[in-house]
């Protein structure tokens, strides 16, 4: 794990779980797999606190436990999973766009709690939705369950590995830690539950309670005592499926930018058809025939078969090679080159970064070297039509920041500099990794700056919170306008100004984090796909 990643993990853990969990988590990320007592000893925290922290981390799928030989249980942190915490708002927003408020709240609860049973999460979401509804209306459990089942069917949520059911007559002492297993076919199997009930408001008065039929009351008030029907079956959000969705979105919008709306719709249809048949790590989708695509186009699109064929040919001939033709049967078999598409997206990010940091002439040189693969100094000057001195300066600037690298080709075995070719080239995976590292560092800087700003104005923030609380309580008890005015004036105008500035800055920094995370996602997906190909 690089230093930048560790720093970012530390900041994320601290913001979400507090200092103690952060200390334990960072220690595990740094040192790998460790047993309990070694962690306590090395971090200097009490055993009790280490246990607490580990329970929280395991609950949120950030740490896994394994039984090693001689019965020692070791804990290992998953650094990449910790970094995903940055992306939680994006997951929740995606669920909202696909499955509206119910889906949004379901995914939010699952992400906030790590893992939950279906009955627990359905109940909680129903309660939350009931809160927001008008008085007298409640949210039915059945509706929430339906959305949950849909989420499971489209693989957005998945079951957690379960404790294997062993018989009690097993000889010997039980193992110190359960080894959790899950089989592929069980992962999206929804247990048959009959969840009957309605959401309950938190501030339910007696009228509400008596309004419900008597049979339902025991379920709400005492379900601690009742056995939960799906006890032991926990669900978690399936982040890979969300990533697949983001990747599809990125490809579709890239096609839309490059060509037009119709071609992007065609690509979207193709991706949708391959959702189930192609695994997320495949380099290209299964071949789809043009007839199939024609049949699966969305209902609103009335393009004729010939037009569709023309579009497909255009897409296949495009130099970016998002779509490839793999055969002629069925009117033409087409695949989407996922690996190439991700590579194009990553390259586009690199180009854009070079352009924004060094200027458009540097960007021209960069694109030139990308296109021609290897170029000598003299050739760069000629092709780019930039004077030698400036070209040299720009090349060296990009070289020092590792966007461009040098390839030596010796003419003689002794590698004498006068008899060696030095060629400039762009090594895309390596440049992508470098940029990813910078992104991690950026996000860490952003979070630190935001925390600094908040800390600077802590006193003022607390004061404004107190004033708001006072105003709220006074309004509840019915106060006059004049009194409220007086209280509001406790915060002076310059202080208000300061608060405004603070709010604006914090919003800006937060928005930056979210957008840097989008770049991080693209680069990570690309690097992952290069790894899988090997």
Partner 1 sequence: MAGNKGRGRAAYTFNIEAVGFSRGEKLPDVVLKPPPLFPDTDYKPVPLKTGEGEDYVLALKQELRETMKRMPYFVETPEEKQDIERYSKRYMKVYKEEWIPDWRRLPRELMPRKKCKKAGPKSKKAKNTDKDTSLTNTADVLKKIEELEKRGDGEKSDEENEEKEGSKEKSKEGDDEDEDDAADQEEYDEEEQEEENDYINSYFEDGDDFGADSDDNMDEATY
Q: Scan residues 107-146 and list those touching partner 1 (CB under 8 A).
A: 108, 112-114
Catalogue the long-range contacts made by 459-466 (C-beta closer than 8 Å, 24 or more residues apart). Answer: 460/495, 460/498, 460/499, 460/502, 461/499, 461/502, 463/490, 463/491, 463/495, 464/491, 464/495, 464/499
Residues 503-522 that bind partner 1 (CB under 8 A): 507-508, 510-515
Please say whether the beta carbons of 183 and 159 come within 8 A.
no
Asked if 311 interacts with partner 1 (CB under 8 A), we say no
Tell whether residue 240 is a contact of partner 1 (CB under 8 A).
Answer: no
Residues across the chain: 534
Residues 30-49 as b or e (16 or more Cβ within 10 Å = b): beeebebeebbeebebeeee
By CB under 8 A, the residues from 321 to 360 that bind partner 1 are: 356-359
Find the binder of partner 1 among 11, 29, 54, 439 (CB under 8 A). 54
289/442 with CB nearer partner 1: 442
Of 4, 8, 9, 20, the one binding partner 1 by CB under 8 A? 20
Residue 502 binds partner 1, judged by CB under 8 A: no
Please tell me the distance from the alpha carbon of residue 457 to that of residue 92, in angstroms, as a whole number: 30
First to last CA, the chain: 21
Our finding on whether 232 is near partner 1 (CB under 8 A) is yes
In angstroms, what is the minimal distance from the CB of 173 to partner 1?
A: 5
Minimum Å gap between C-beta 534 and partner 1 is: 35
CA distances from 95 to 100, 154, 285, 517 (A): 7, 12, 24, 18
- 181 to 220, contacts with partner 1 by CB under 8 A? none
**Alpha helix (H) residue ranges in 237-337:** 239-258, 261-273, 290-296, 305-317
Give the Cα separation of 393 and 382 in Å (integer).
Answer: 15
We find the least distance from the C-beta atom of residue 493 to partner 1, in angstroms, to be 25
Find the binder of partner 1 among 1, 30, 31, 59 (CB under 8 A). Answer: 59
Which of positions 430-489 make contact with partner 1 (CB under 8 A)?
none
> Which segment (39-47, 364-372, 404-412, 484-492) binds partner 1 by CB under 8 A?
39-47
In the set 3, 32, 132, 176, which binds partner 1 (CB under 8 A)?
A: 176
Stretch that binds partner 1, among 90-98, 190-198, 239-247, 428-436 (CB under 8 A): 90-98
Taking CB under 8 A as the criterion, the residue among 2, 3, 32, 71 binding partner 1 is 71
Is residue 411 a contact point for partner 1 (CB under 8 A)?
A: no
Candidates 1, 36, 428, 487; binder of partner 1 (CB under 8 A) is 36
CA dist 162 and 179 (Å) reads 8
Q: Which residues pair with 288 in a beta bridge?
A: 334
- Give Cβ neighbours of residue 439 (< 8 Å, ≥ 6 apart): 516, 519, 520, 523
Taking Cα atoms as reference points, which of 32, 43, 37 lies closest to residue 6? 32
Packing angle, helices 493-533 and 458-476, rounded to 10? 110
Q: How far is the CB of 128 from partner 1 (least distance, A)?
A: 11
Q: Smallest distance from the beta carbon of 16 to partner 1, in angstroms?
A: 5
**Shortest gap between Cβ of 418 and partner 1 (angstroms)?**
3
Q: How far apart are CB 375 and partner 1 at their closest, in Å?
A: 14
Q: Which is nearer to partner 1, 73 or 314 (CB)?
A: 73
**Which of 91, 89, 64, 86 minimizes the C-alpha distance to 75?**
64
Is the CB of residue 249 less than 8 Å from the CB of residue 94? no
Q: Annotate each residue in 362-391 with x if it binds partner 1 (CB under 8 A) or - if it does not, as one string.
A: ---------------x----------xx--
Total residues contacting partner 1 (rule CB under 8 A)?
76
Q: DSSP character for 326? A: E
State the nearest-atom distance from the C-beta of 148 to partner 1, in Å: 20
Q: Is 229 in the site for partner 1 (CB under 8 A)?
A: no
Residue 440: Cβ within 10 Å count: 21
Compare residues 58 and 316 and give the one whose CB is closer to partner 1.
Answer: 58
> Residue 122 CB, nearest distance to partner 1 (Å)?
18
Residue whose CB is less far from partner 1, 62 or 336:
62
Is 41 an interacting residue with respect to partner 1 (CB under 8 A)? yes
Closest CB to partner 1 among 302 and 412?
412
The residue from 89, 191, 229, 283 that contacts partner 1 (CB under 8 A) is: 89
Structural contact between residues 147 and 102, judged by C-beta atoms closer than 8 angstroms: yes
- 63 contributes a contact to partner 1 by CB under 8 A: no
Instruction: Give long-range contacts, CB 8 A cutoff, 24+ apart: 370-378.
Output: 370/426, 373/425, 374/407, 374/423, 374/424, 374/425, 375/423, 375/424, 375/425, 376/421, 376/422, 376/423, 376/424, 377/422, 377/424
Q: Which is nearer to partner 1, 47 or 531 (CB)?
A: 47
Structure tokens at 122: 């359905």
Of these, 8, 26, 53, 423, which contacts partner 1 (CB under 8 A)? 53
Supply 493's token pair: 């105008």
């Amino acid at each position: 794990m690089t230093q930048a990643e560790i720093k970012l993990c530390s900041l994320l853990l601290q913001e979400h779980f507090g200092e103690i969990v952060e200390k334990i988590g960072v220690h595990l990320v740094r040192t790998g797999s460790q047993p309990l007592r070694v962690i306590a000893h090395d971090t200097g925290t009490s055993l009790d606190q280490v246990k607490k922290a580990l329970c929280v981390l395991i609950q949120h799928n950030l740490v896994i436990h394994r039984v090693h030989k001689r019965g020692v249980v070791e804990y290992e942190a998953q650094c990449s999973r910790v970094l995903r915490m940055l992306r939680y708002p994006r997951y929740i927003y995606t669920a909202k766009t696909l499955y509206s408020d119910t889906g949004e709240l379901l995914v939010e609860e699952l992400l906030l709690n790590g893992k939950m049973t279906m009955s627990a999460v359905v109940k909680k979401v129903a309660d939350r939705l009931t809160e927001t509804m008008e008085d007298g209306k409640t949210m039915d459990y059945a509706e929430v369950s339906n959305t949950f089942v849909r989420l499971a069917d489209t693989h957005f949520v998945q079951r957690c590995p379960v404790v294997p059911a062993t018989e009690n007559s097993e000889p010997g002492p039980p193992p110190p830690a359960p080894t959790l297993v899950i089989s592929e076919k069980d992962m999206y199997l929804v247990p048959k539950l009959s969840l009957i009930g309605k959401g309950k408001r938190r501030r339910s008065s007696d009228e509400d309670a008596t309004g419900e039929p008597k049979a339902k009351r025991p379920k709400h008030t005492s379900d601690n005592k009742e056995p939960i029907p799906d006890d032991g079956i926990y669900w978690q959000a399936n982040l890979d499926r969300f990533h697949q969705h983001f990747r599809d979105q990125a490809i579709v919008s890239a096609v839309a930018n490059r060509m037009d709306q119709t071609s992007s719709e065609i690509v979207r249809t193709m991706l949708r058809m391959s959702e189930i048949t192609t695994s997320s790590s495949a380099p290209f989708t299964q071949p789809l025939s043009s007839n199939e695509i024609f049949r699966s186009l969305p209902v609103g699109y009335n393009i004729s078969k010939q037009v569709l064929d023309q579009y497909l040919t255009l897409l296949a001939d495009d130099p970016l090679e998002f779509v490839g033709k793999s055969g002629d049967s069925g009117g033409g078999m087409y695949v989407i080159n996922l690996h190439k598409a991700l590579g194009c997206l990553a390259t586009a990010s690199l180009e854009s970064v070079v352009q924004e940091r060094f200027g458009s002439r540097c960007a021209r040189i960069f694109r030139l070297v990308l296109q021609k693969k290897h170029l000598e100094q003299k050739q760069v000057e000629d092709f780019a039509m930039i004077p030698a001195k400036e070209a040299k300066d720009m090349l060296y600037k990009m070289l020092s920041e590792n966007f461009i690298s040098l390839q030596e080709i010796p003419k003689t075995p002794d590698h004498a500099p006068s008899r060696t070719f030095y060629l400039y080239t762009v090594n895309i995976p390596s440049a992508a990794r470098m940029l990813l590292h910078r992104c991690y560092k950026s996000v860490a800087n952003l979070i630190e700056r935001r925390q600094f700003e908040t800390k600077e104005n802590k006193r003022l923030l607390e004061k404004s919170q107190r004033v708001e609380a006072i105003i709220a309580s006074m309004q509840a008890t019915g106060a006059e306008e004049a009194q409220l005015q007086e209280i509001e004036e406790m915060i002076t105008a310059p202080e208000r100004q300061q608060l405004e500035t603070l709010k604006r800055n914090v919003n800006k920094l937060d928005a930056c984090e979210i957008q840097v995370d989008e770049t991080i996602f693209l680069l990570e997906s690309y690097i992952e796909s290069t790894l899988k190909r090997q």
